Amino acid sequence: MTIDAVIPARDEAPTIVANVEAASGCRFVREVLVVDDGSTDGTADRAREAGAKVIARTGSTGSKAHAMAAGVAATDASAVLFVDADCTGLAAAHLDAVCEPFVARRAAMSLGFFDYGPFWNRLVPWWPPLTGERVLPRWVFESIPAAKLDGYTVEVRINEVIAEGRLPTVGRLMPGVYHRTKRDKLGRRAGLRATWDMYRALLGLVASGDIRLRTYATYLQGLTVESPAVRRPARPRGAGPPP
Ligand SMILES: Nc1nc2c(ncn2[C@@H]2O[C@H](COP(=O)(O)OP(=O)(O)OP(=O)(O)O)[C@@H](O)[C@H]2O)c(=O)[nH]1
Ligand SMILES: [Mg+2]
């Protein structure tokens, strides 16, 4: 089995280097590919300097789904570890822990969940998973019909293939890992608008009947939540609550 990491990135200069380093430090990863959609903040150069192979999508208006598809098309690996470019606190050990159930064949897809704090962390694994940190066989991604590849709905489409095949999934918390939200990146007003657009696209799938709730139920039947296998980093004295 060969695993390459694919990182879709658009204007993620503050975090791209750390995430490329985390992915290339993962002991199961062969190569790191960053798929850039016309970033104007130097993301591509930073990714290259950090050792990633950069795929530049030119003439595109941007699409997370199509960026991920371009990454999969550019590798011959039998499996792909997807990693978002805007993670904070992500280390190679987290990605080792995400890949391990997949490599050990306990899971057809293995997921990493952000650290939302003790209360939410108990609930998050049971929500429909939208996490960008996940490893899966390339055939699962390639089973998504081209017409269904659309922006932020791509994770739902992956989940759909997994549920249709009644395949086992393992999920693991990634202690200390979070991300820069759209509000962090774009400011409050534009960030909230972009967040709303993303959830509207996701809810639209349910409202139109394109995705059935039964798919989620089937996914849950195949889900095992494993303990993190990475310890939460110590918080410095006087630090506030996690983001
Ligand atoms: N190449 C490429 N990457 C994208 C595009 N849109 C989003 N991404 C990347 O996909 C990852 C997740 O995107 P975000 O916009 O942070 O989405 P999110 O984390 O699901 O949503 P928030 O909770 O609002 O942060 C990041 O690495 C983005 O840079 C795009 O059009 N092209
Ligand atoms: Mg984000």
For 148-188, write each residue's pLDDT tens digit.
Answer: 999 999 999 999 999 999 999 999 999 999 999 999 999 99
pLDDT at 106: 96
Could you tell me the two tokens for 201? Answer: 């696209």
Q: Minimum-distance ligand to the CA of 83?
A: 1
Across all residues in the chain, what is the average pLDDT?
Answer: 93
| Ligand 1 atom nearest 37 alpha carbon | 1
DSSP result, 201-225 = HHHHHHHTTSS-HHHHHHHHHTEEE
Sketch the domain layout of the chain as residue ranges: 3-226
What is the per-residue pLDDT across 74-103, written as a single tens digit (0 to 9) for each? 999 999 999 999 999 999 999 999 999 999
Average pLDDT over residues 204-232: 89
Distance CA 168, CA 119 (A): 26
Q: Using alpha carbons, select from 101, 208, 206, 98 the residue that is nearest to residue 160.
A: 206
CA of 119 to the centre of ligand 2 (A): 21
Find the range with the poorest average confidence among 72-76, 138-142, 144-148, 202-206.
202-206
Residues contacting 184, CB < 8 A, separation 6+: 191
Instruction: Compute the average pLDDT of residues 126-146.
Output: 96
Q: Give me ligand 1 centre to Cα 238, in Å.
A: 31
Judge: domain 3-226, CATH 3.40.50.720: no
CB of 89 within 6 A of ligand 1: the answer is no
Close Cβ partners of 183 (under 8 Å, ≥ 6 residues apart): 191, 192, 195
